């Protein structure tokens, strides 16, 4: 049986993470994510986990990587400026294939911007923040209830594909309070482990049927090398262009080849829609209210919401764009997912944009006005 509780989005993030086995958190307080660190400090000792406040966001990300290689599910949380500081180590985790979850409760920018105001300004940073070509999975919850369930999925994907996963919240969801049903039974995926103690082995070789390497946690007897440099299957650095191409291609392919498993969308009223509104995260509630009002007036409009922002669900959006007359992108930035929509939709339908960068919410009334426009 599930139980009904009143919870804030940031609190739900922590509770969902703990429910699926997160036992280490390292972070540095920053609005509007601070409640995540505060709750981790309170809750982790209760489940024999560990919380540590580091001296800065760079060290926080490094500590999370260190904890993860010992086999502990690990998480950090931050907001825009801190997210920027974490990027080099996120790249390290991607290259070394170290599972971890990075929560970014977005706020307005650039620089320190409007620290407590709604924004979705880190969408492109979440995909392209680290240098070089790298795979990444980015999930975006739209409610407190979904925050709880989706953070569990973030850990499951991280463990399955041995990759950092970005949990891209925003202030609207992080500080929202609502009643949610906390389930008793959840799906939990743990990373696979092989201990090859006492034998020469290649930790970054891929076992048959797997898409990612399988090796034992540090401290359990198995000895191997981990580096952020280009490495071969032994884990040691190499300058071979053949090995470099092999490694980087495999990193990208383990995500690209499994998009059907990773990328999810939510659709509402799409079957009969002539118009669709693309939204994500905290903009969703206002969009749904506007759509309900529009349908009362006889306008056939639906919602298309990427739950997985990266990899972007372009197959689903492309198919939709060929069925509708107009797509409206609504987001709290100057048009970051709009860029992806333009790339995918091309000339298949009209494309409209409604954005906001002044730290205030986009109202259902404003959305409804754009829906009605020819």
By the 8 A CB rule, do 20 and 190 touch? Answer: no
By the 8 A CB rule, do 327 and 351 touch? Answer: yes
**pLDDT block averages, 10 residues each, the chain of length 374:** 89 98 97 97 98 97 97 97 97 97 95 92 96 94 98 98 98 96 93 74 86 89 90 95 96 96 97 97 97 98 98 97 98 97 96 96 97 91
Whole-angstrom Cα distance, residue 119 to residue 121?
6
Q: Could you check whether 3-182 and 264-372 share the same CATH topology? A: yes
CATH number for the region 3-182 comes to 3.40.50.970
By the 8 A CB rule, do 301 and 354 touch? Answer: no
- Please tell me the total number of residues recorded for the chain in this structure: 374
By the 8 A CB rule, do 183 and 2 touch? Answer: yes
Burial profile 178-202: b = 16 or more Cβ within 10 angstroms, e = fewer: eebebeeeeeebebeeeebeeeebe
Whole-angstrom Cα distance, residue 83 to residue 104?
7
Per DSSP (E only), the strands in the chain are: 3-8, 24-27, 50-53, 74-78, 100-106, 137-139, 164-170, 177-182, 265-268, 275-278, 301-306, 308-310, 326-331, 350-355
Burial class (CB in 10 A: 0-12, 13-18, 19+), 238: middle
Task: Quickly list H helices, 119-163.
Answer: 123-128, 144-161
Phi, psi (deg, nearest 5) at residue 309: -75, -40
Residue located via tokens 């764009």: 321
pTM, two decimals, is: 0.96
By the 8 A CB rule, do 19 and 186 touch? Answer: yes
- What pLDDT does 219 receive? 86
Indicate the domain borders of the chain. 3-182, 264-372
CATH number for the region 264-372 comes to 3.40.50.920
In the three-class reduction of DSSP (H, G, I as helix; E, B as strand; rest coil), residue 244 is classed as helix
- What pLDDT does 1 receive? 61
Instruction: Let me know the angle formed at the C-alpha of 186 by 51 and 74, rounded to the nearest 5 degrees.
Output: 25
Whole-angstrom Cα distance, residue 76 to residue 250?
26
Whole-angstrom Cα distance, residue 91 to residue 126?
11
- What pLDDT does 223 receive? 84
């Amino acid at each position: 049986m599930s139980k009904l509780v009143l919870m804030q989005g940031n609190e739900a993030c922590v509770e969902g993470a703990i429910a699926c086995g997160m036992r280490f958190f390292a972070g540095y307080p920053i609005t509007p994510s601070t409640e995540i660190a505060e709750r981790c400090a309170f809750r982790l000792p209760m489940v024999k986990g560990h919380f540590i406040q580091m001296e800065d966001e760079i060290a926080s990300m490094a500590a999370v990587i260190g904890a993860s290689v010992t086999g502990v599910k690990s998480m950090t949380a931050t907001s825009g400026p801190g997210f920027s500081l974490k990027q080099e180590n996120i790249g390290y985790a991607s290259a070394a294939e170290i599972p971890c979850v990075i929560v970014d409760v977005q706020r307005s920018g650039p620089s320190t911007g409007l620290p407590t105001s709604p924004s979705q300004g880190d969408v492109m940073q979440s995909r392209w923040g680290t240098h070089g070509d790298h795979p990444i999975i980015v999930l975006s919850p739209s409610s407190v209830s979904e925050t709880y369930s989706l953070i569990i999925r973030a850990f499951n994907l991280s463990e399955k594909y041995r990759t950092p996963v970005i949990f891209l919240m925003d202030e609207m969801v992080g500080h929202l309070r609502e009643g949610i049903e906390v389930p008793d039974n959840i799906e939990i995926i743990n990373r696979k482990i092989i201990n090859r103690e006492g034998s020469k082995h290649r930790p970054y070789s891929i076992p048959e049927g797997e898409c990612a390497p399988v090796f034992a946690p540090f401290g359990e007897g198995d000895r191997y090398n981990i580096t952020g440099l280009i490495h071969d299957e032994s884990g040691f650095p190499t300058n071979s262009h053949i090995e470099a191409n092999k490694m980087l291609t495999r990193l990208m392919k383990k995500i690209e080849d499994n998009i059907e498993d990773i990328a999810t969308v939510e659709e509402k009223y799409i079957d009969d829609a002539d118009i669709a509104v693309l939204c994500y995260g905290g903009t969703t509630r206002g969009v749904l209210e506007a759509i309900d009002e529009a349908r009362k007036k006889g306008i056939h409009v639906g919602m298309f919401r990427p739950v997985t922002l990266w990899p972007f669900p372009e197959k689903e959006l492309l198919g939709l764009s060929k069925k509708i007359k107009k797509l409206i992108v609504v987001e709290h930035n100057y048009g970051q997912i709009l860029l992806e929509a333009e790339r995918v939709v091309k000339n298949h339908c009209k494309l409209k944009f409604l954005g906001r960068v002044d730290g205030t919410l986009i109202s259902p009334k404003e959305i409804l006005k754009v829906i009605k426009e020819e």
